[in-house]
Amino acid sequence: MASLEVEGGIPLQGEVKISGAKNEALKLIAAALLLRCPLKIKNCPEIADVEALAEIVRALGGSYSLSDNTLRLDASCVKSAEVPYEPACRLRASVVLLGPLLARFGSVCSPYPGGCLIGARSLETHFRAFEALGAKIQRGRENFAIALDKVQNTCVTLEEASVTATENLVLFAAGQTEPIKIRNCAIEPEVIGLLKFLSAAGAKISGIGRREIEVAGGSSMESREVEVMPDRIEAGTFVIALVVTGGAGTVRPYPKEHLQTFTKTLLDCGAKIVLNDNEAKVFKTDKLRPFKIKTAIHPGFPTDLQSPMALVAARVEGASEINETLYENRLGYLKELQAMGLGVEIVDARRARISGPATLSPREIRSLDLRSGITLVIAALMTPGKSIIRNAQIIERGYEKLPEKLKALGARVRRVND
């Protein structure tokens, strides 16, 4: 267990370098199971989730090393399709091993994946999609098994445009010789990145960027090197941190094409942001306007940037509204912010109204999940005095070298082991 001690009230100033996207790097690790050669993943964030997924590949018979933001991964010698219990229970992303392992071995056994407690994220969308292909699934209390000897149906419609279900079906299809059509696909940037990687490695894919795609594996899938795109969620998070602390600085690289809805929302609030080719320049903003956001699948407002927006509401004169449509437990962090002095009305499990401006007080607070955790860190940065954020190891699952990056912006922050 770890905590972050923050002496807040100091406007952040300077430049921050955004790391590689967690949600792409993890899926590239899974894709390596389809290759018969080692893979070098450049610009890979050195975070706990990447280490955990790479450890699973190692436990299955592969090998890896991670240094200087380069992950060298060899999954060609993987011999097992039984996902180990302990590391899989630590992260949700272990679920995307199902598709490539099923394609490679014809069966896979796994515990139910862990991760953040932000609401029900059932695997039924995954299971029903595989069942539609002809798979047999045994659902246990703690584990499950999937077996698929021969694909019976080459067209599957996902019940929801789930990111990980889309990726699982894509990874499975990339290991088949006959094409599989997948409908109601997610089109998040990280999904598109995975599709482009598989295509470059030899898979035959049509419809990239659309809700309906067709995927088949090539005769020999091979790729030696790939570079991870910038993390759009980290980029948006640091923009908010600069705005709400009354600071100014540069966020680079800033994937503006992946953050259009988010950026427009902040600009409509009155935030002073100038976008250049590869960066966002944030200028001191004295007055912000109320907003209403409703999270949605891409290209809508990202659910992973919903919680930091509550801190923008804290700077606003008037009432702002948040509607979380994707996860029913993702407003739990608001109770922690209420304890710091934020005026919050919980309308229901998915909707909240926040009244500002708010004067926050330093507190000892607890991170509930990855994204709410970073929100509490930013709240502490806004607040004069010393705050302590418990369960900081949760935040480290998705934000690389966070204390170092914040210190470079002038923050007073210290990580301590509990």
Q: What is 144-193 written as a DSSP string?
A: EEEE-SS---SEEE-SS--HHHHHHHHHHHTT-SS-EEEES----HHHHH
pLDDT tens digits, one per residue of 215-258: 999 778 889 999 999 999 999 999 999 999 999 999 999 999 99
The domain segmentation of the chain, as residue ranges, is 2-19+230-417, 22-227
Res 408: pLDDT? 97
CA separation (Å) from 373 to 31, 82, 121, 317? 29, 32, 19, 25
Res 219: pLDDT? 73
**CATH number, span 22-227:** 3.65.10.10
Burial (CB < 10 A; 0-12, 13-18, 19+), residue 246, is: middle
Under the banding of pLDDT at 50, 70 and 90, the label for residue 271 is very high
Statement: residue 87 has pLDDT above 90: no
Which of 37, 44, 109, 116 is catalytic? The answer is 116
CA separation (Å) from 220 to 174, 176, 200, 203? 11, 11, 12, 9
Res 71: pLDDT? 98
For the four alpha carbons of 9, 301, 199 and 160, in that order, the dihedral sign comes to positive
CA separation (Å) from 251 to 135, 304, 396? 46, 18, 20
pLDDT tens digits, one per residue of 201-210: 999 999 999 9
Res 116: pLDDT? 41
Give this prediction's pTM. Answer: 0.95
Under the banding of pLDDT at 50, 70 and 90, the label for residue 120 is very low
Q: What is the distance between the alpha carbons of residues 78 and 345, in angstroms, rounded to a whole number?
A: 51
What is the pLDDT averaged over residues 335-356?
A: 95
Share of the chain above pLDDT 70, in %: 98
Least confident of 163-167, 217-221, 348-352: 217-221
What is the pLDDT averaged over residues 383-402?
A: 95
Q: Which CATH architecture has domain 2-19+230-417?
A: Alpha-beta prism (3.65)
| CA angle centred on 270, ends 269 and 272, rounded to 5° | 130
**DSSP tag of 301:** B
Q: Is 269 a catalytic residue?
A: no
Contacts of 348 (CB under 8 A, 6+ apart): none
The answer to whether the 2-19+230-417 and 22-227 domains have the same CATH topology is: yes
